[in-house]
Amino acid sequence: MKIKVTEEVWKEGNMYVSYCPELDMAACGKSIEESKKNLKEVISINFVECQKMGTLNELLQDAGFTEDQNNVLLARKELVSFSPIEFGI
């Protein structure tokens, strides 16, 4: 089974934080690559533990995932733009 999620990467001080909004999971690292690797590990461990407890399908369903014709789990919404904006008030 494959799953497609969004990964946001933020810099906080000297660390990078990777965040998956669909699953509300995050991980950090000293580099962008390390934070991304750590996020994949966090998600994988969480899925394995949920599968052991028999709650994986419930977790994915509650997060709004559906399976496409290629057996890939997708969120109902897809991020198409993400950029900072600045304006006066």
- Summarised one tens digit per residue, pLDDT across range 22-73 is 899 999 999 999 999 999 999 999 999 999 999 998 888 888 888 888 888 8
Domain 2-75: state its class: alpha beta
- The whole-number pLDDT of residue 71 equals 83
Closest CA to 43 of 2, 78, 12: 2
pLDDT at 84 over 80: no
Domain residue ranges of the chain, discontinuous segments joined by +: 2-75
Structure tokens at 28: 């950090």
This prediction's pTM: 0.80
Task: Name the residue type at position 70.
Answer: N
